Homo-oligomer: A and B are copies of this chain.
C-alpha cells in the first residue's frame, strides 16, 4: 500500500495543524492554506509550505487534499475546491458529521474523488497554537464508505491514516457514523454544557463551585470548548435531536420514579454493562480477518465496522486487514 507523498491541508486549526505537522515529521511534503497569514507564517517555520489561495493549493495537485475547516465554512470551501480539484487528488475532510458533508460534496460534483473522514481526537483547546502531532497518536479515524467510494481512493486514505498519521480506521456508513457520534460525542458535549449552565444560574453558585470535585470537573471538561464550535457540531448532526429526546424521556422517567418510589435500581444497573473501561472494547462478535476490496466489499467493510472491527492497513494485493476493536 503506497502512502501519499504530498498532502494539501485547507485550514490549520487544532486538527488540520496537527495533521500537517505530523505528516511533515513523517517526510511527507505538506502544502496548506489558511485564512490568517500569521498562521501560515508560523506553519512555514514548521516546514509547511504556504499556498496563497485554495485554488493555488488545489493546482499544486497533492496526492490527498484534507478539508479541515470549521463546519460552518464547509459549504463555501467545498464549492471552491470542486472548481479546481485535479483528477489525481483524493479529497477528504475531518468534520465531526459525515452525512451532511457527503451531501455537500455530492452536490458539488466531486463525490467520485471523496472519502470522508473523522479522527476521534481533540481537546477543549483550538487553533494552530494548540496543534500537536502527538494529538493523533493511535487515533481512531472513522472513514466513510459509500456507494460512490472508489477502492483505490479508500486505500490511499487508509494509508494516510495508518502509515503516515499512526492511526487506525473504522469503516462506517455516514449515517450510522452520525448516529453513533451523537451518542458518544455530541450528546456528552450538550450535557456538559447543561451542567455548567445550571450551576452558573444557581443562587448557590459560589459555594457549589467551591464544592465541585472530580465528577464535576470531568463531566464538564468539554463544556470548556469554544461554544460556536460545539453549537455547529451539534446543530449539523441530524441524529443529535433524537438522542437528546431519548435522554429527556429517560431523565423525566427517572425523576418520576425517584419521586414515587425513592429508588431507581434499573436505571443505575443498566450502565454497568458498558461502564467498565476494560470491557468496553471487548466485542466478542468482531472476528478479526480481512476483506478483499472487490465484489460486495463496501457492505462487508461497513458490517465489520458495525460489529466493532478496525482496519489496520491494506495489503499489497488490495485486502483490508481487520482486527477486533
Please report A residues at the B interface, Cβ cutoff 8 Å.
120-123, 140, 142, 170, 172, 176-177, 179-181, 183-185, 187-202, 204-224, 227-228, 230-231, 234-235, 240-241, 243-248, 250-252, 254-255, 258-259, 262-265, 267-277, 280-281, 283, 285-286, 305-308, 310, 325
Query: Which residues from B are CB-within-8-Å of A212?
Result: 120, 184-185, 280
Q: How far is the CB of A100 from chain B (nearest CB, A)?
A: 11
Task: Write the chain B residue with the least CB distance to A279.
Answer: B209
Task: Write the chain B residue with the least CB distance to A188.
Answer: B219
Q: Once the chains bind, are A194 and B247 in contact (CB under 8 Å)?
A: yes
Q: Once the chains bind, are A180 and B204 in contact (CB under 8 Å)?
A: yes
Q: Once the chains bind, are A183 and B208 in contact (CB under 8 Å)?
A: yes
Task: Write the chain B residue with the least CB distance to A252.
Answer: B248
Query: Which residues from B are CB-within-8-Å of A272?
Result: 227
Query: Which residues from B are CB-within-8-Å of A179?
Result: 202, 204
Task: Write the chain B residue with the least CB distance to A262.
Answer: B235
CB < 8 Å: which of B184, B202, B219, B262 contacts A208?
A: B184
Q: How far is the CB of A120 from chain B (nearest CB, A)?
A: 4
Q: Once the chains bind, are B251 and A211 in contact (CB under 8 Å)?
A: no
Q: Which of A190, A191, A199, A211 has the most CB of B within 10 A?
A: A211
Query: Which residues from B are CB-within-8-Å of A195?
Result: 183, 187-188, 191
Q: Once the chains bind, are B215 and A222 in contact (CB under 8 Å)?
A: yes
Q: How far is the CB of A112 from chain B (nearest CB, A)?
A: 26
Rounded to whole angstroms, the CA-CA distance of A153 and B59 in the bound complex is 78
Q: Once the chains bind, are A273 and B184 in contact (CB under 8 Å)?
A: no
Known: A206-B283, A248-B252. A218 touches B216 (CB 8 A): no
Task: Write the chain B residue with the least CB distance to A176.
Answer: B204
Query: Which residues from B are CB-within-8-Å of A214?
Result: 121-123, 221-222
Q: Once the chains bind, are A185 and B231 in contact (CB under 8 Å)?
A: no
Q: Once the chains bind, are A185 and B213 in contact (CB under 8 Å)?
A: yes
CB < 8 Å: which of B121, B213, B215, B227 contacts A271?
A: B227
Q: Once the chains bind, are A247 and B251 in contact (CB under 8 Å)?
A: yes
Query: Which residues from B are CB-within-8-Å of A142?
Result: 211
Task: Write the chain B residue with the least CB distance to A180.
Answer: B208
Q: How far is the CB of A265 from chain B (nearest CB, A)?
A: 6
Known: A210-B281, A211-B140, A221-B218. A200 touches B251 (CB 8 A): no
Rounded to whole angstroms, the CA-CA distance of A218 and B306 in the bound complex is 24
Rounded to whole angstroms, the CA-CA distance of A194 and B247 in the bound complex is 7
Rounded to whole angstroms, the CA-CA distance of A188 and B222 in the bound complex is 13
A-B contact pairs, 24 of them (CB 8 A): A121-B214, A181-B211, A183-B208, A184-B209, A184-B211, A185-B211, A185-B212, A188-B220, A192-B271, A201-B270, A206-B285, A206-B306, A206-B308, A209-B274, A217-B277, A219-B219, A227-B269, A227-B271, A231-B264, A231-B265, A240-B258, A241-B258, A244-B255, A244-B258
